[in-house]
Amino acid sequence: GESSLNVIQFSVSSITLGDYGSPLYVSRNLEISGSVTIDANGEDGIFKISSSGKTLAIDGLTLTGAASSAIKIANSGSHLIATNCAFTNNTSSRAGGAIDSVGTIDVSNCTFVGNRSNSSTLGGGAIRVSAPGLSTISLSTFTSNSTSGSGGAVHFSSSATLSSLNIVASNFLQNSADAEDGSAQGGGAVWQKNGVLAIESSLFTSNSVSGDEGRGGAIYLGKDAKPALVSRNLFTSNSVDGQDALGGAIFSEKPTLAEGNSFLYNAANNDGRGGAIATNSNRPTILSMETPGFLLSNSTLHGNTAARGGGIYVFGPEFGSYERGITLVNVTIDHNDASDPNGGGGLYADEAQTNQPPVADIRNSILSDNRADSVDNNCDSAITGFAFVNGGGNLFWPAASCMGAPVFAVQDVGDPLLDGPTPASPPILVMPLQEGSAAAQHGLSSICGDFPVLNLDQRLEPRPQPGGSACDAGAVESDVAPPGPALVLAPPTGLAFGSVPVGTTVSQTAIVSNPGQLELTGLALAVSGAGYTLASQTCGATLAAGQQCSAVVQANPSAGGSFNGNLVATGDGGRSASIALSGSGFVASPGLNVMPGSIDFGEILVGQQSSNLNLQVENTGNVDLNNLQFAVAAPFEPSQSGSCGASLPAGTSCNMRFRFSPTAAQHYAATLTVTTDQGANATALFTGVGLAPAELVIAPGSVSFGRVAVGTSSSTVQVTLTNIGTKTASGLGMVFGGSSSPTIARVSDDCPIDLLGGQSCHIGFRLAANGSGAVTADFVVAFNSSTESSNTLALSGVGYDPAELTLVPHSPIDFGRVLVGNSAAVVQGVRNTGGENLQLQTVVVSDPFSLRFNQGCSLPRKLVPGETCNFLVTVSPSLPGESRGVLTARGTRAAAADGEFEDVSDKLLLRVEGYTPGDLVLTPGDGLAFGPVPLGEHSNPQAATLLNPGSDPVDTVVTSLSSASFQILQDDCPITLAGGASCQVQVVAAPAPGSAAGSFVGNLDASGVPMGQAMIARSIPLSARAFDAEPDLGAQPDAIDFGSVTVGVRSGNLTVYLQNLGASSLELDIGLVGDASFQVASDGCTGTLDPGALCEVALYFQPTATGLLSTRFVASTLTGGRQELDVRGTGIDQNQPALQTSPASPGPLGFAGEVGETLRKAVQVSNVGSASLTLGQPLFTGLEAADFSVDSPLPLELAPGASASLEIICVPDGAGLRSALLTLTSTDPAKASIPFALSCNAVDPLYGNGFED
């Protein structure tokens, strides 16, 4: 099994097991502690042990809410330890609402509140234990626990031979048991049957048993042969109810020793019997408990009530049955009440028989003021004359007999004059005697001295009190005097003369006293025994109350050996007292011995003292020795710390201490002589050696380790230690001085603890540098606790932090993906991370990577500690794909040896991936012009070609049309367009009346292209015109964009042109539908428009908010003709730039010409905002990006309202379609990036064809 406990320490304050399931099975030795409440939440139990040999120890826990015992120990080989715990509101359908254990338990300083067992056959509202070993409950409190069976708080029963339960210093308050199932039920607090039970120093208050035949309001002791001990407990206000209830506090039918208990105000209600105690046990026949039964001693019963036996109810013997009864020794039974006439207010004996022994044996007890039906009735029985036996020393008041039986003498009647219940040692209450009590010294001392009283009262005070001639009757011994005279001799232990030499006389004095309340007459003293005489006395024939006199007794033995006698005092009224006289005669025979017979003080340095050594001096004779004298020659001398005086009693010994102080280097010897006046002498030999001191030398006298790099250790340096003296250097000790550096350590040592004269040994040292700078240490060698000699060795060295070459940051450099032809760079550095200067020699890198140093980091270069030399690592991939390289830095640093240097270096890995992005170019660049198309018909199809000029594929290629006047007839383009691939889309026109314009748009996913957009759109224009003989209305342009305008500022006017395309007049009506920021500035169209006529409408934009705003311009005719176009603009804040371009982004911009020709296109840029605008450097991307450039100075600053023209140039280097994407950047937050799709269609020159004119 396990030998130790596994530990769990809770830091939470509460746990609810319903969240996790219960109970928790304990399969290992376990200790659980913490101020935590564990709530079973009305589920099963909390802890369960079913494995053998396991220990569960809990400390500080609160266990609550269990529905099947909070803790269940299901294996008799297991053990529970509960300390400082609380068990509240737990239940069980069987036994033990809080704890149900067949294994041993140890419960200490715990509380049990509101726990319950619902079993009518078992019980134990808080605890049920049936373990085979020893279980304990101590310092614990049980409150309001209950059961439907037995044992409101505790149920104990085990048939195992060694089963026992000890309950110590615990409180049982308001616990209850329901006894409705009959006589086997009861025990409002504790129920026991089988096993040995001991209950000590505990409090039982307001516990109860309800139901018919309920037994033991506090304790039920079941019928079996194993004894119970009930010692020094307080029982108050406990009760049994119902018909035939027995024992308001205790019911017992087993061998029971109840001693030192207090029973107050307990009750057997209704027709109950035994207000405090009801017993069906055997009556002990002798006081040694050799015959088991119920024995009550040193106990107090007061204020208890019942129908019969207000204090005690005893079953008497039956025909053919065992002898049932009780023995009372030094018990106080006072003011208890029985409601039945002749019910025995103090004691009732039932079923007494004329042919059986008496039921109750009463000794040294008080029965006073007990009543039955309000009539004085101390004790009673069913049959006259056979219930009680007078064991002697009893006191009754006011009646002299029990049930009129004349078994008690007249002198047994008197008022005990009891005090009310008074606290004694907790928890008991006692009733002391008042002055003049008839119980004072009324008891028989032979009974007080025998078992179970053993000369102690209920408070554990001695019986009798000092000066008393006899012990008191009842539970408490008092120092009050009896009512009459008394005679006491002191000392009560007698006069012991000890050893007396034959022929000499020794005297001692005895004291005679009268502690009574009346004068003592007829006093006489006498001595008996050879060798003793009454030498003198101050006593007369009378001795007044409270007075004393003395008598001198002499011992004069005439021969050797013991001689004994008595001093006897007598007085009238038969009073007498005696004490013993004892002594031993002997013939004088002096003797003296010293040990040891010789003392060697060893080797002591000249001029020093030895330690004090002890010499024992023993009187081996039988007479005292006087005038002890000690004589010895120098340099030996006695010290002052011995215990010997001038005399030494016979048979005793003392110690004398001596020291040695040599004055020369030589051997010494002297004899010590001890003499006495009685002629008993003794001698002892003292020896010692004086020595010259030892001396230590260390060579070499100092050690230098030189320079040692930080983090490393020096080689071992060894020194030699020599004792050049003659005396042994004993107790050799070595230690570093208090200011020594811990980096210098002793690493080897062959020196013995004692270094002989002339002997050498060796010590090795090593410096482990953990920092820079000088390091020193003092190594001290001493012996004899440094009282004779010590040497110090100086050790030194220098720790240095070498220069360290480190590339920073110190991690591989990955440039990631870099566009072929472009460059990327990172800042890298070389840092001296050491503590000394570093000479940086070279930094190199392999292709395709390169380095660029600034003027502050030219090589070679010295780097001081912590200094960094920064440089750029650049790469410009010329081909797609991955490239790798190595960055290497090299330098030199100072080595450990002075003037020497060593190489250092560091390396990093480099990586880059070159790529060319995919793109999308649409052709023809100037768009598809379908010309006139009959109204309601489709044009002939035309093809738009989509080309990926890059090497990377482009994903998610989507085509669309911006106008419903055009339709895609066939789309052969895949979703992913490979690098260099192209596809075609067939488009047809089906325009509405008038001119139609739109765009063919190709979109691609640009998430992998660094252009700042998720999608990129490429487009070419579409145009067509429908013709019809019917009247028609045309509008130009297709849409109006005011661009960016400051909020609250009115823009300039933009014009919409309307034309009657038909052959008859039109009646026009115009309007704006949408945001109110757009207004009509002038209207020249509303009214009649003749065939072929043209009119104008001017619009302006004055934004009321920031952001993109829009409206619809609507022109309609009475005949149902209608034209709509989009009008939009962007509102911007004050002091913010706004960019407008013409043509608008993203173009396209198309070029056409010959190979090598410089082709130009202009892009007008305007700042329509209220703050300055900056255009950044252009970025061209695509496979033919090198064919395009900007022939205008950039960056370009535009003041508010300013405009400029950018010249875009294409110089094609080959025939065919060239395409690229131009991206401009600006400080306009709404147009930070402005893309333009570029296409350049070049043909070879039309000369040099080989033909003549």
DSSP string, 302-330: ES-EESB-SSEEEE---TTS--B-EEEES
**How deeply is 542 buried, as exposed, middle or buried, from its count of CB atoms within 10 A (0-12, 13-18, 19+)?**
middle
Pick from 1087, 1117, 1132: which residue ends a domain? 1132
Within a domain: residue 885?
Answer: yes
Strands (E), 1176-1215: 1179-1181, 1188-1190, 1196-1198, 1203-1210
Residue 305 maps to a domain: no
Q: Do 669 and 810 lie in a common domain? A: no
* 3-state DSSP assignment of residue 840: strand
Do both 514 and 656 map to the same domain? Answer: no
**Are 598 and 686 in the same domain?**
yes
Q: Say which CATH number the domain at 932 has.
A: 2.60.40.10
Among candidate residues 826, 843, 830, 845, the one with its CA nearest the CA of residue 884: 845
Nearest 5°: the CA angle 920, 921, 925 is 160
Is residue 276 within 8 A of residue 308, CB to CB? The reply is no
Q: Are residues 729 and 862 in the same domain?
A: no
* DSSP, res 123: B
User: Are 666 and 687 within 8 A, CB to CB?
Assistant: no
**Token pair for residue 1065?**
């007049």
Is the four-CA dihedral 929, 931, 935, 940 of positive or negative sign? negative
Instruction: Give strand pairing partners of 335.
Output: none
Q: Read off the tokens for 688.
A: 């010692």
Residues 742 and 824 in one domain: no
What residues are paired with 1046 via a beta bridge? 1132
Residues 925, 909 share a domain: no
Report the distance separating Cα 545 and Cα 68, nearest Å.
Answer: 71
Residues 1115 and 979 in one domain: yes
Decide if 673 is inside a domain: yes
Confirm whether 1014 is domain-assigned.
Answer: yes
Q: Is 927 helix (H, G, I), strand (E, B) or coil?
A: coil
Which residues, 6+ apart, have CB-to-CB distance to 650 below 8 Å? 499, 619, 621, 622, 623, 624, 625
CA–CA gap between residue 801 and residue 894 (Å, rounded): 10
Which of 724, 716, 894, 722 lies closest to 795, judged by CA?
A: 716
Per the CB < 8 A criterion, the answer to whether 881 and 784 are in contact is: no
Q: Cα dihedral angle (114, 115, 117, 122), rounded to 10 degrees?
A: -110
| Amino acid at position 230, single letter | V
φ/ψ of residue 1204, rounded to 5 = -155, 160
Between CA 973 and CA 1002 the distance in angstroms is: 10
Structure tokens at 867: 């200094």
Containing domain of residue 825, as a range? Answer: 805-915
Q: What is the 3-state secondary structure (H, E, C) of 175-220?
A: CEEECCCCCCCECCCEEECCCEEEEECCEEECCEEECCCCECCCEE
Backbone angles phi, psi at 219, to 5 degrees: -135, 135
The pLDDT of residue 1011: 42
Q: Which residues of the chain have pLDDT under 70?
A: 1-5, 18-22, 180-184, 225, 283-292, 317-323, 351-358, 382-387, 399-411, 481-484, 515-517, 785-789, 956, 994, 1006-1015, 1027-1031, 1119-1120, 1246-1253
Residue 153: alpha-carbon gap to chain centroid: 33
Q: Are strands 86-88 and 111-113 parallel, antiparallel or unpaired?
A: parallel
Say if residue 677 is in the same domain as residue 705.
Answer: no
Q: Are 894 and 814 part of one and the same domain?
A: yes
- Domain match, 703 and 671 both: no
Last residue of a domain, one of 623, 657, 691: 691
Confidence at residue 351, expressed as pLDDT on a 0 to 100 scale: 64
Distance CA 632, CA 610 (A): 16
Domain for residue 684, yes or no? yes
In a domain, 1037, yes or no: yes
Q: Which of 900, 915, 930 is the last residue of a domain?
A: 915
Q: CA-based Rg of the chain, rounded to a whole angstrom?
A: 61
Q: Are 324 and 360 in contact (CB under 8 A)?
A: no
Q: Which tokens belong to 153?
A: 């708080």
Count of domains observed in the chain:
6
The residue written with tokens 């010494």 in the block is 668
DSSP letter (8 states) at residue 806: E
Query: Of 1001, 1000, 998, 927, which Cα lies nearest the Cα of 963?
Result: 998
Calculate the alpha carbon distances from 970 to 353, 756, 921, 1084 in Å. Answer: 131, 115, 19, 43
- Pair 928, 970 in one domain: yes
Write down the pLDDT at residue 356: 59
- Residue 815 falls inside a structural domain: yes
* Beta strands, E only, 337-482: 337-338, 347-350, 360-363, 366-368, 371-372, 375-376, 379-381, 388-390, 395-397, 422-423, 429-430
Angle at alpha carbon of residue 847, lines to 845 and 853, rounded to 5°? 40
Q: Which residues contact 286 (CB under 8 A, 6 or more apart)?
A: none
Residue 570 is encoded by which pair of tokens? 């007598």
Which residues in 1165-1194 are b (16+ Cβ under 10 Å) and which e?
A: bbbbbbbebebeebbbbbbbbebbbbebee
Identify whether 165 is part of a domain.
Answer: no
- Residue 119: predicted pLDDT: 87
Both 574 and 501 in one domain: the answer is yes
Model pLDDT, residue 438:
86
